[in-house]
Structure 1
Amino acid sequence: MTTSVFAHSRDPFFPDVLDVINHEKAPPTLIDEPLTKTQQTEQLHHRLYPLNYADADTLAKQLSTHAIPLLSKQGRVIADSDANSLSIVDNDKALSEIADWLRLKDTPQQQVYITAHIISSSQDALNELGAQWGLHTLKTTHVEATSTHPNTISPPSNSALSIPSLSALSLHQNTKNPLHSIAFNIARINGRLLELELSALEQEKQLSIIASPRLTAAHEKTASIKQGTEIPYVSRDNETTRVQFKEAVLGMEVTPMIQRNKKIRLILKISQNTPGIALVQGGSEHLSIDKQEISTEVTINDGETIMLGGIFQQKQQEHTANIPLLSSIPLLGVLFSHKRDQQSRHELVIFITPKLI
């Protein structure tokens, strides 16, 4: 419906008023004009953020995948790996929030200095050290021990082991080499001067220090150390002879995670692999590796020492005692000599001490 207003007036401004009234009464008219760029989106700005400690690629991935929901829909981020910096284009609000987030992330990560002592000890020496089993129940993710003929010991994943031990398990070799008996234990010992006591017991020949590796690792970063040899062996395949290598090393791999109240969570993998026997099959020689490995996950206090043990080695040795000259008399010499078998049992024990630095 259209309404028109007609009037007569001598006022020169009256026609203008009528035009306004008629415009108010007229049906609305749609104006199809494109929105300006400012109306479509907020104004974008470019910022360059150099990083000192954090990794630019890692942070850029978190921003671009919206794992950290800070970028707007129009925002873009590019990482410069060489300069370790982030180039970000976004609106003022998003850039301000990203800058605050980067200040929190770009801080030096606290590090953990880890000292380990790997020893072969008698039970008497462990008692003298004051090691006590059965004090705690710790989470263990995997335990493995492999002999010449691969046998694997693996408790269920994420299982909790109640100390003093996982049920006694044994591996035997059909040779005169040392027998291996595996039982996995974890314990904490008091904070006495461990290194001095270990050295004293080694001088008394009650234990043998195999290695004392030391590592420094950042929060949630894996560090490893290993020492040993690569053993060559010959393999034949389709009349082709190749020389390959197998590692026989003593190694440690650790990933620390720093928690509150100066607690440290450690993901540990310790292995002692030694050369086994060579098996000949089809003209090829296959070398076996005797493996002793522990993989575990524990949480301990800063400066506390934890002990991993329970890998036993039993050695059988034959000793002959005789009387010189008389024992060499034919037939009668056996009367002046004596043979006896001696068994020795030692335990492979690892002491781990993490320290925040």
Structure 2
Amino acid sequence: MPAAPPLRVTQATPAAPPATAAPTNGQRLISFDFKDADVVNLLRILAAESNKNIVIGDDVKGKMSIALRNVPWDLALDIILETRGLRKIEKDGVMRIVSSEQLIKEREASARVEEARLKAESDVRTKAAEAQLKEQEAIDKRRAAEAAYAELQARGPLREETIRLSYADPEEIARTLQGILGIPPEGIKAQTVPAGFPPIAEPPFSALYGLQPQQVPQPLASPPSEVLAKGITIRAHKPTNSIFIRHYEADLERIKKLIRERLDVRLPQVKIEARMEILDRDDLFAIGVQWGGGGVLQSNQNTVMVGRGFTSSVGNTTTSGGIGTVGVTSPNPNLVLGAGGTLLPVTSTTGLPLGGNLVNLPISGALGGGAVTGGGAGGIAFGITGSRYNVNLALEALRLLSKTRTLARPEVVTVENGTASISLGEEIPYATVSSAGTSIQFKEAVLRLDVIPTVIREGDVTKIKMKVTIENNSRSNTTVNLGTSAGAPPVINKRRAQTEVLITEGERLVIGGVTTNLDADETRKIPLFGDI
């Protein structure tokens, strides 16, 4: 079969254009009919008809057939772009026509460029801020060094001085100063300033961002290195009663003033006299001391009575003379102030009080208005007598009647807050056996009194606060069998009491119940016949 002749495709001669319709919404309506027309040419026709600036990208290609009648040009443009997958970009009165793929690439590239620009700007700002911060840190460091050096200049150089104390203990003074100044026992290194301050580095972006670097000042001179090598320290030297101080000159003067005016001062001395007496409980009633009561009697005008020693449960009362009474009943009718300011009415023969007791040392029982209950054996109690009541005179009277026995009358003098210790007793030897052989050990069985006084001045009145510890360790009749050839160690009976009291100067503290004696009567007889 012979081949078919080739088909020639040409653009048909366009018919006479129809009459243009009247403008609609200010836009001209266009009509056209094309077959296999090039897209670029169609866009050029629309640009000419609309009188718009249109730029067509190289990626816009292809042909299309289109037939439109009386439509706005922008609608025709949108139809062509949508059909061919094209996009328009309008900027400053110019319209760009590109493919969708090209637009995506352009936007991605633009985003990368924008990101790079923002990152570069951020890096520039960060480096500029870092440079400014370094510059400020250098300035602050310089100012701190200048302030430290100014402080060193104000304090003066390090000085060493040995201060000999007159009254205080050097170790106590050293510990006190270390606590006040915050110096550890091992001392601290003296504050130093480097020989030259570090120069302020010029920021790398100063010229770009207009940061003017500070002028680097000249280095300040430092104190001699041999002085700074020594540490600040305070040490006590017990043999010479001195303290050694190494500190700055200005601070050293203040430390010396503190020691001279506040720390190394003469403390008040307190004389403590003790009487250790053994007497029967019944004999104490004769001198107005009741052991085993349970109340408090007080007087103004520097006269104090402690305890009550009464057996009634009558409530507390207060007399017009200023003495409070606790449970006073008919057995004690005279517990009032007598004429002439005496403490209690006394008998003409003995000079001792009538009725009530001057001192009561309660051992057991309830305080207050209630009656005393319980026995008084085995306790240690404390009481205070007034300065008008002469305990020594009463005890001497009983001694002349052979009613009391004096163990000791020691006197000690101590300074304020010092410990005064009085002891009386024995050391009991006993044997111990070990691999080295038999040795002799000792146990103390002593009556010990420890007093720590503190002087308190309230105007013209001097009071003494005393921390009193009384301890009575006595030999026991009980023995312990250890099952060895060595002797059994002694058993020590221990009794201890501790209290704090506040008394006026001249008053006396009476302690009862320290020692006890047990009297037993043994009767031997033949049953029945012994009673005849």
Q: 1:55 aligns with which of 149, 169, 183?
A: 169
Counterpart of 1:64?
A: 178
What TM-score does the superposition give when structure 2 sets the normalisation length? 0.43
2:474 aligned with 1:274: yes
> Which residue of 2 is the match for residue 299 of structure 1?
502
CA gap 1:85/1:185 in 2 versus in 1, 3 angstroms: closer
Q: Which residue of 1 aligns with 2:307?
A: none
Identity between Structure 1 and Structure 2 (%): 26
Aligned to 1:182: 378
Could you say if the C-alpha distance between residues 163 and 130 of structure 1 is closer, same or farther in structure 2, counting changes exceeding 3 Å? closer
Matches within 5 A, 1:64-213: 64-66=178-180, 75-103=232-260, 104-131=262-289, 134-135=295-296, 164-167=362-365, 181-191=377-387, 192-213=389-410
**Shift in Å at residue 107 of structure 1?**
1.4
Aligned positions of 1:242-281 closer than 5 A? 242-261=439-458, 262-277=462-477, 278-281=479-482
* Structure number having the greater helix percentage: 2
Q: Which residue of 2 aligns with 1:344?
A: none
1:44 counterpart = 2:157: yes
- Output one character per residue of 1:243-266: Cα deviation in whole Å (capped at 9) or x when no partner: 221112222222112223311111
Cα deviation digits, residues 170-199 of structure 1 (max 9, x gap): 8xxxxxxxxx93134322223333223212
Higher RCO by CA contacts (8 Å cutoff, separation 6 or greater) = 1
Runs of 4+ off more than 4 Å:
30-40, 71-75, 167-170, 237-240, 333-336
Question: Whole-Å Cα distance in 1 between the matches of residues 400 and 273 of structure 2?
Answer: 21
Inter-partner Cα distance in structure 2 for 1:68 and 1:108 = 26
Shift of 1:238: 6.5
Between the aligned partners of 2:245 and 2:442, the Cα distance in structure 1 is 48
Q: CA RMSD in A?
A: 3.9
Change (3 A) 1:243 1:49: closer
**Cα offset, 1:204, TM superposition:** 1.0
State the distance in 1 between where 2:393 and 2:361 align: 27
Secondary structure of residue in 2 paired with 1:128: helix
Q: Could you tell me which runs of 5 or more consecutive residues in structure 1 were left unpaired when the two chains were aligned.
A: 1-27, 138-161, 171-179, 321-332, 337-357
Distance 1:67 1:196 in 2: 54
- CA distance change for structure 1 residues 119 and 68 in 2, over 3 Å: closer, same or farther? farther
Secondary structure, counterpart of 1:60 in structure 2:
helix
> Is the Cα contact below 8 Å between 1:202 and 1:208 reproduced in 2?
yes
Instruction: State the secondary structure of the residue aligned to 2:397.
Output: helix
Give, as a single letter, the amino acid of the residue that structure 2 aligns with 1:61.
Answer: R
The structural deviation recorded for 1:169 is: 8.1
Segments of structure 2 that go 5 or more residues without pairing to the other structure are 1-134, 192-231, 299-359, 366-372
Q: Do the aligned partners of residues 248 and 183 (structure 1) sit closer, same or farther apart at CA in structure 2, a change above 3 Å counting?
A: closer
Aligned equivalents of 1:229 and 1:215: distance in 2? 20
- Cα pair 1:169 1:183 within 8 Å, conserved: no
Question: Using the alignment, how far apart are the partners of 2:378 and 2:531 within structure 1?
Answer: 41
**Structure 2 Cα separation of the partners of residues 165 and 51 of structure 1:** 47
CA distance, structure 2, for counterparts of residue 87 and residue 190 of structure 1: 48
Amino acid at match of 2:296: L
Q: Distance in 1 between matches of 2:415 and 2:439?
A: 41
Instruction: Classify 1:102/1:135 alpha carbon distance in 2 versus 1 (closer, same or farther; 3 Å).
Output: same
In 1, distance between residues paired with 2:503 and 2:409? 20
Q: Report how many aligned residue pairs link the two structures.
A: 264
Q: How far 1:113 sits from its partner (Å)?
A: 0.6
TM-score for both structures, normalised by structure 1: 0.62
CA contact (8 A) 1:51 1:85 kept: yes
